[in-house]
Structure 1
């Protein structure tokens, strides 16, 4: 019987002896990575083109509004109206970024690594949701800060004028947060359903844009009640309706809010809250199912 000829070589593998940072730090790292991914940071030049093109457009619009106001002394667009007018860009931003955040991981099969301890399954979904929501809020909120700084430096009323601008800015930032939360929760849920980014992007665009005709059809129905409830037919219109009810003249000058919503303002707020809660719950359920495979 021949002697075994195999040789064991010591190639220097060692056990990890550094600090184990735990769940909170893993969540933070995943959130920060998602936020960087949303803006193409740390990725190829090709991945930076679309997000920074969108950033350039919204910043240019904010700078133009600020310039017109400083020269003519007229408020062309309020802070809240800025978020409304840029919502079409937000749709395409979500359609591109949401698949990058979740569909790529599904396609590459790395989720079992993420779901190893100490990161629970729900933390993964929550970190991705927070990253996308933060990116959307920055996309809509940062240009509003540009508008605020321009108005603050050109006001003729001194500190009282700056204070008035700040009181107008804060509702605009909160409204931007509403857009971010609703769009992030709906968009990420849709993107999590498939590992193919093209299908995910198409699904996001379809949900946000193809539901718009529903609102148009319901708004011309002969029933006034149906007209006042028409904006429930689309996530975009739903956010706008909540803005009308909560912000009033800051979003719809002239006091026309009551004519569009009737007495259903609280219902729109409740539906928006339920929509976000349902999307988050379904997102968590989705990743429990993925992890169980």
Structure 2
């Protein structure tokens, strides 16, 4: 350094506040992802589709509760309600999954994320948790509306309320299975491209292409083929698990003695999607 050199103090100071670590980063990504799923904190345009889906699903639940209050009959039970809303859930996932992961890839912020004390597993765990929560709430909230309609109109007092709760809780577990499976598939596909339109199209295509396969297999003359047909599509796969595990589910599927097979495939598919997703982001984090 020469004698004429000068050191200028421009006011930079070291950070002396609390360092919250990985847990706080995980929570921040989770909350941000959950808000993004419903368009909160974003433009009015981003809120239109998710809240339109919320409105439709909730309206159907209110109608079912009103019909039950007037007639004493429930056209769709809690399980059937989740199945009936499945196509809306698909489109919800197709919009939300790219919003959660494709946007980060396109904007190039992943290296910034992983330069902090944040691991790929933390990032993926937070995104998966946010998406699962958003999808589960989309079904569980309206199911709770139906429960309130049944609880307040029961003619058997508290025993009727407890019976209603006994129907609701397995349905919430069933909705969680929907959320886990759809989240795993949706986020995995969305993680493959930074273009949201391509990601959304790919997610919808997976479900559209597999559903006709179930129809073809179900009309084969073999009884075994008919009972296994629903394994070919994620939508009917969940229904098959519900038919096996939940008494009175009445999903309309004939799965015969193959209930355990449906459960094994569902668990395997969810685990495979999540592991592939983790491997994908570990590779990104290592670049």
Please give the TM-score of this superposition, normalised by the length of structure 2.
0.96
Quote the residue 1:270 is aligned against.
264
CA distance in structure 2 between the aligned counterparts of 1:240 and 1:170, rounded to whole angstroms: 16
CA distance in structure 2 between the aligned counterparts of 1:17 and 1:251, rounded to whole angstroms: 60
Structure 1 unaligned spans of 5+: none
**1:48-127 mapped onto 2 (5 Å cutoff):** 48-127=47-126
For the pair 1:289 / 2:283, whether they are aligned, the reply is: yes
CA distance in structure 1 between the aligned counterparts of 2:90 and 2:220, rounded to whole angstroms: 27
Q: Secondary structure at the match of 1:16?
A: coil
For the pair 1:280 / 2:279, whether they are aligned, the reply is: no
Quote the residue 1:209 is aligned against.
208
CA distance in structure 2 between the aligned counterparts of 1:263 and 1:172, rounded to whole angstroms: 22
**1:153-168 mapped onto 2 (5 Å cutoff):** 153-168=152-167
Q: Secondary structure at the match of 2:12?
A: coil
CA distance in structure 2 between the aligned counterparts of 1:88 and 1:99, rounded to whole angstroms: 17
Residue 88 of structure 1 deviates from its aligned partner by 0.5
Structure 1 runs of 4+ off > 6 angstroms? none
Quote the residue 2:223 is aligned against.
224
CA distance in structure 2 between the aligned counterparts of 1:73 and 1:36, rounded to whole angstroms: 38
CA distance in structure 1 between the aligned counterparts of 2:181 and 2:123, rounded to whole angstroms: 19
Structure 2 unaligned spans of 5+: none
Aligned alpha-carbon RMSD (Å): 1.6
Quote the residue 2:171 is aligned against.
172
Please give the TM-score of this superposition, normalised by the length of structure 1.
0.94
CA distance in structure 2 between the aligned counterparts of 1:8 and 1:54, rounded to whole angstroms: 60
Residue 157 of structure 1 deviates from its aligned partner by 1.1
> When the two structures are aligned, how many residues end up with a matched partner?
286
